[in-house]
Chain A
Amino acid sequence: MIYDIIIVGAGAGGGVAAAILSESGARVLLLERGKHFTYENEQNDHLRNHRLSQYGQNTGPDIGHPRVLVTPDGTEHVQLPHNGGYHNNAMAVGSSTMLYGGQGWRFMPDDFRMQSRYGRPAGSSLADWPISYADLAPYYERIEHEVGIAGDSSRSAERWPRQNAYPMPPVPLTTRGNILQAAAHTLGWHALTPPLLLNTTPFQGRPVCAQCGLCVGFACHVNAKNGTHNTMIPRALASGNCTLVSEAFVLRVLMADAQTASGVEYITADGQRHTAQATTVIISGSAIETPRLLMNSAASDAPEGLGNHSDQLGRHLQGHVYPRSIGLMKDPIYDAEGPGVSISTVDFNHANPDVIGGGMLADEFITLPIVFWKRFMPPEVPRWGKAAKDFMRYAYPRFMDVTGPVQEIPNPDARVTLDRSVRDRYGVPVARLSGGVHPETVRTAAYMHGKAREWLEAAGVERQWGNPPRPGLSAGQHQAGTCRMGDDPASSVTDRNGKIHGIKNLYIADGSLHVTNGGFNPVLTIMANAYRIAVGIAAMGR
């Protein structure tokens, strides 16, 4: 059978594109290398999840899918999926949208015009998006209403031009959130509850968040957290036009000629190889696997990979560095009310003196005790004995932390290439990650770390600790930028419609399109941009 559309990857971007295109009448084949999980087979293991993958994860990939990380000293390290240097995103139907905390921020208007606003620092590849906030705004709104989000409409409207209110009211302030809101007012800062992709009222037949405290990193046990796995992908399947094949790993994009994709070759869990043909192919594998697939699809007239004639494919890899400060209040403040994050400020995303961009700051999702032990202990506290136990007992109920994603200043040397020697279980060359963040990113992060400390100080902490981020590769779950959109084929991989330059029918719909990645969690932008691209493809089909 020849499909109208093949979509590779059923995550944030691919899931949205599948719904829009199949509902438009197109016959869609949605291929996902991960499994179709339910809550029952994704349990809340504190040592094996997407917050702490000490010994593995609650989703794939498994160890048959390594990557290679090149550290700044030039040494190569084979990384398994649960190692930090792998920069994993969940491998599952719905990908990380099944497990995320679901902060559903829009990027700000200036986030789409970073070069115009700040210039291009030496050594960076800071650039404007080919589209503006106004181009994406209608699709942000559709995602907010169709996937489902809970937010503070009036305070949000002070910062983002928006047509309608959020469909659900924000989550309630926690004890910690109330203290930090008061502290923000003392400082003269604006504070608002972050928009979260979860239900604060019954929504689309699913219940209200149970505030269980195990949100980010885990599947929701009452199905009140909204991702593509329980919204857009079910819609695609309900249309009758979408075939979802999970545990299907795409080996390469097939080309009829240099300008025309004809389909994909993929391998299923039983080891069988398949070929599927389509009029249009969309890659939604996120910012590491998408360029890897395009490079592994190299042909004689595209020896460095599809869409790589200008040596842009795989470059400008970025994510978010997170400066964090942790402080101790005099009295216990922990109230166990999930999801935990309830207050934020966007006062420092732009217009900061002497630094480029900035970022959002917020309090944190409930921190698992073992995560506190691993990551939040001050360095001088012993790792054993009564002193360690006493500190945990004293600090856990009293700590509060402020952190947030810093907008990165991209550079071309942070990149994905193919490793020459390491292959995955199917014999396909794996992704090789190299480079680090630009010095301006480190500077902005240090500035934001100071703001986090200022906020905790105003909240009345007795002491605080935590270091600003160090330079190194940044990608992780917020990975972006490796197939940037642009009007000039010399400096981009796709056009503004997500279509790869020079190929008539090969598209990308995921975070790799992001020219810059905002000072916000990027998922709402990935979804909205996929919606926009899918609408464009659907319009051509009519």
Chain B
Amino acid sequence: MFDATQLATLRALIERYIPHDDTPGGIAAGVDTYLMRFLQADGVGYVARYTQTLTSLEHEALNLHSTSFAALSPTAADALIEALWKNQTSAVWLCDAADTLELIAEHCAEGFYSDPRHGANANGVSWQMLGFEERR
């Protein structure tokens, strides 16, 4: 679905969206696995927008920092994302940057906070963080 650069960009974006701190972040919780499954099922209609976004995101990082998005410092990546959520772009975007980045953030949260059967929230790590219990 994605080439190696796009995949690295996606994984870096997931980790900025749900960062690791004293509890697991998006990658440790398996949000990348969730998204790859989702984009082959209910989310199949979003694949083109994901591809366009990941390509443009990489171009933004190269334009502004001469490095790949995945290699940006957390601070630099967060500043770039924040600007893009305001549609302050420097590269070519084939889709609306803010809308699509928001959409991806929602998909990440759906994986992270929903039930583990979908591929993320492994062992209920987000639920442990919140104290939520599914007593079944």
Contacts and interface: CB of A to CB of B under 8 A. Distances in A.
Given A370-B113, A389-B19, A338 B135 contact: yes
A385 B17 contact: yes
Question: Which applies to chain A's interface (DSSP): helix, strand, loop or mixed?
Answer: loop
Interface residues of B, number: 32
B110 A221 contact: no
A332 interface: yes
A94 to B, nearest CB: 20
B42 interface: yes
Interface in B87-136: 102, 105-106, 108-110, 113-115, 117-118, 126-127, 129-136
Contacts of B23: 393
Interface of A: 43-47, 54-56, 210-214, 221, 332, 334, 336, 338, 368-370, 372-373, 383-386, 388-389, 392-393, 396-397
Nearest to A393: B129
B11 interface: no
A336 B118 contact: no
Given A45-B115, A55-B42, A389-B18, A396 B131 contact: yes
* Most chain A beta-carbon contacts within 10 A, residue among B23, B102, B117: B117
Given A55-B42, A384-B17, A385-B16, A369 B136 contact: no
Contacts of B17: 384-385, 388
B136 A44 contact: yes
B130 A369 contact: yes
28 contacts: A44-B134, A46-B114, A211-B135, A212-B134, A212-B136, A213-B132, A213-B133, A213-B134, A334-B131, A336-B132, A369-B114, A369-B127, A370-B114, A372-B113, A383-B102, A383-B105, A383-B109, A384-B16, A384-B17, A384-B85, A384-B105, A385-B19, A385-B78, A388-B109, A392-B129, A393-B129, A393-B130, A396-B130
Interface string B66-86: 000000000000100100010
A212 B21 contact: no
A45 to B, nearest CB: 6
Contacts of A384: 16-18, 81, 85, 105, 108
B134 A47 contact: no
Contacts of A213: 132-135
Contacts of A389: 18-19, 21, 25
Given A384-B105, A385-B78, A389-B19, A397 B131 contact: yes
* Most chain B beta-carbon contacts within 10 A, residue among A56, A368, A369: A369
B16 A47 contact: no
A54 B131 contact: no
A45 B134 CA distance: 12
A56 B41 CA distance: 12
Contacts of B136: 44, 210, 212, 214, 221
Contacts of B18: 384, 388-389
Contacts of B25: 389
A56 B130 contact: no
A419 B117 CA distance: 39
A40 to B, nearest CB: 12
A370 B133 contact: no
Contacts of A373: 109, 113
Contacts of B133: 213, 336
Contacts of A392: 113, 129-130
A55 B17 CA distance: 22
A221 B126 CA distance: 23
A176 to B, nearest CB: 13
Nearest to B127: A369
* Most chain A beta-carbon contacts within 10 A, residue among B19, B42, B81, B132: B132
Nearest to B108: A384
A47 B110 contact: yes
Contacts of B85: 384
Nearest to B43: A55
B70 to A, nearest CB: 17
Contacts of A372: 113
A329 to B, nearest CB: 13
A369 B19 contact: no
Interface string B11-33: 00000111101010100000000
A396 B117 CA distance: 22
Given A46-B114, A370-B113, A383-B102, A336 B135 contact: yes
B132 A369 contact: yes
